[in-house]
Amino acid sequence: MGGKPGRKWGPLRSEYEELGELATVLRGVADGHGVTLRDLENRMPHGKTAISENLNGAKRPEWQFVVAFLRACAGGDRRGLSELERKVQPLWEAAGKGLARRAPPVTTTSDALVPADVRTWVAHLHETARILQVVTELQ
């Protein structure tokens, strides 16, 4: 966090688009309400580290965290809170479905051990499997 305390967010760490989008929207909610990380720490039952970890896009935060976060941003505005929940919940659910469709990222000790054409072929297989999963869900 640099610059004005509590105003700048660290870089997103998301490997998946849905997680990055959720984190970006949550950060935008805080920014839009003028709520800093310090404010969140004072208004939520979570410390600075937990808040930062839940907003960096590396993982999907628990729904209880999201609700506490939205409450901290909305203050006492119940209608505003309800509207925020209505907008954020589909993104949160999409992040969960997106993670369920994907296998954990494959890591190797060295990409040099796997020929480039094989890596490309495996990437295409993963994409095809993901598309088939989406088609199956739609049917």
Decide if 32 contacts 26 (C-beta within 8 A). no
CB within 8 Å of 45: residues ≥ 6 apart:
68
pLDDT digits (tens, 9 = 90+) for 20-60: 999 999 999 999 999 999 999 999 999 999 999 999 999 99
Here the tokens at position 95 are 């992040």
Q: What is the pLDDT of residues 55-79, one digit of tens each?
A: 999 999 999 999 999 999 999 999 9
Q: pLDDT tens digits, residue range 109-130?
A: 455 555 666 666 666 566 666 6
Q: Between the CA of residue 46 and those of 37, 64, 101, what are the distances in Å? A: 11, 11, 30
The yes-or-no verdict on residue 6 having pLDDT over 70 is: no
Q: What pLDDT, on a 0 to 100 scale, did the predictor assign at position 126?
A: 62
Model pTM above 0.85: no
User: 62, 42, 40: which is closest to 52 by C-alpha?
Assistant: 40
